[in-house]
Amino acid sequence: MPTYEYECKNCGIFEEFHGISTTLTHCPKCSGEVRRLISQNSNIIFKGSGFHVTDYRSGDYNSKAAAEKTAGSSSKSESKAS
């Protein structure tokens, strides 16, 4: 659900968190008339295991990365044994 900004003539600007189909017509504090503002909110929240670039890499890239990871771990264990 998005956050909307409203302006009350008495209270000033405030934010309200509600569904898309809901619209406020009166201020929750003073019951005055409100109007919805065009928000400059550009907060983006990425959820999940990663982003498109990392989630949808080619098979060739994934196999090279896996080989590099195993090669790096085996060389570290060899140097510890010495």
| Surface-to-core class of residue 34, CB atoms within 10 Å of its CB (0-12 exposed, 13-18 middle, 19+ buried) | buried
Domain boundaries, the chain: 1-39, 48-82
pLDDT value of position 8: 93
Mean of pLDDT over the chain: 79
Q: What is the pLDDT of residues 45-63, one digit of tens each?
A: 666 666 666 667 777 887 8
